[in-house]
Amino acid sequence: MTKIDKNLADSRKVYKKAALLEATISDNPMQLFQTWFLEAEANESGEANAMNLATIGLDGFPKNRIVLLKRFTWEGFVFYTNYNSEKGKAITTNPKVSLSFFWQGLERQVIIKGIAEKLPENLSDGYFESRPDGSRIGAWASDQSDVVSSREVLDEKLKSFQEKFEHSDIPRPKHWGGYLIKPKVIEFWQGRPNRMHDRIRFTLDEKYCWKIERLQP
Among 19, 21, 38, 68, binds ligand FMN (CB under 6 A): 68
166's CB contacts (< 8 A; 6+ apart) are none
The smaller minimum CB distance to ligand FMN, of residues 32 and 97, is found at: 97
* Distance, CA of 112 to CA of 96 (rounded, Å): 11
Tell me the window of 29-37, 65-73, 115-123, 164-172 that interacts with ligand FMN (CB under 6 A). Answer: 65-73
* Distance, CA of 6 to CA of 74 (rounded, Å): 44
The smaller minimum CB distance to ligand FMN, of residues 32 and 53, is found at: 53
Q: What angle do CA 83, 84, 86 make, to 5 degrees?
A: 100
* Distance, CA of 24 to CA of 106 (rounded, Å): 17
Tell me the window of 35-43, 74-82, 158-166, 198-206 that interacts with ligand FMN (CB under 6 A). Answer: 74-82
The smaller minimum CB distance to ligand FMN, of residues 81 and 190, is found at: 81
Rounded (10°) angle between helices 133-141 and 151-164: 120
Question: Which is the catalytic residue, given 195, 199, 201, 214?
Answer: 195
65 is catalytic: no
Nearest to 76 by CA among 172, 185, 175: 185
Site for ligand FMN in 142-161 (CB under 6 A): 144-145
With binding defined as CB under 6 A, does residue 80 bind ligand FMN? yes
Among 18, 50, 56, 204, binds ligand FMN (CB under 6 A): 50
* Distance, CA of 44 to CA of 37 (rounded, Å): 10
* Distance, CA of 144 to CA of 149 (rounded, Å): 14
Among 16, 17, 63, 159, binds ligand FMN (CB under 6 A): 63
With binding defined as CB under 6 A, does residue 67 bind ligand FMN? yes
Catalytic residues: 195
Q: Give the footprint of ligand FMN on this chain (CB under 6 A).
A: 47, 50, 63, 65-68, 79-81, 85-87, 144-145
